[in-house]
């Protein structure tokens, strides 16, 4: 089973359990903390993916780092260690956040552009995304000059790439196929 599908299944199971225990928001806080911490620490990412370190060392480190986490989150750590899938922790946390936002009827849309969006353009994009998803959406703009122009829109697992860089790559691939 591929990593993304496995992470989605773990996240769905944790969300279902959190709904049952009425702790979805508490767990969302834990998951956001996990994503932020792992994303900000190269050492932690390397530790989690290291085949040399023993599982018990990794588990103790995680429990120390996320000392105030809920028992369900600690149970997720245990489950991932038992199944030798702790390297999926960050992805599971991300998927949980997305699933919980969908459950609440909210969502985050990420728009990558070469230059910052103007206020008017941001409102137009937000209106279209809200119409497309039917949910209340928060728009986050990321600047990446390598896309040259256009935009990349990501909502949950869906991505629409209308960047100039993508179009140039497509033309390049078509040109090299025909030669």
* DSSP secondary structure, 31-90, as one string: HHHHHHHHHT-HHHHHHHH-SSS-HHHHHHHHHHHTTT--HHHHHHHHHHHHTT-GGGHH
Which residue, of 46, 80, 101, is where some domain finishes?
A: 101
Whether residues 132 and 92 fall in one domain: no
Quote the number of domains for the chain. 2
Whether residues 95 and 110 fall in one domain: no
Which residue, of 37, 70, 101, is where some domain finishes?
A: 101
Q: How confident is the model at residue 93 (pLDDT cuts 50, 70, 90)?
A: very high
pLDDT for residue 128 is more than 60: yes
Domain region containing 123? 106-178
pLDDT value of position 64: 92
Quote the percentage of the chain above a pLDDT of 90.
Answer: 27
Q: Does the predicted TM-score (pTM) go above 0.95?
A: no
């Amino acid at each position: 089973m591929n990593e993304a599908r496995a992470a989605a299944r773990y996240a769905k199971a944790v969300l279902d359990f959190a709904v049952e225990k009425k702790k979805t928001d508490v767990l969302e806080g834990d998951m956001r903390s996990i994503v932020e911490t792992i994303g900000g620490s190269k050492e932690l990412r390397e530790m989690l993916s290291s085949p040399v370190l023993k599982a018990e060392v990794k588990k103790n480190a995680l429990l120390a780092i996320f000392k105030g986490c809920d028992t369900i989150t600690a149970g997720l750590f245990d489950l991932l260690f038992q199944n030798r899938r702790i390297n999926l922790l960050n992805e599971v946390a991300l998927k949980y956040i997305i699933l919980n936002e969908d459950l609440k009827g909210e969502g985050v849309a990420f728009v990558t552009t070469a230059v910052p969006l103007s206020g008017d353009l941001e409102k137009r994009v937000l209106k279209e995304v809200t119409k497309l998803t039917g949910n209340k959406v928060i728009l986050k703009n990321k600047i990446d000059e390598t896309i040259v122009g256009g935009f990349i829109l990501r909502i949950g697992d869906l991505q629409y790439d209308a960047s100039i860089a993508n179009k140039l790559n497509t033309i390049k691939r078509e040109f090299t196929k025909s030669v």
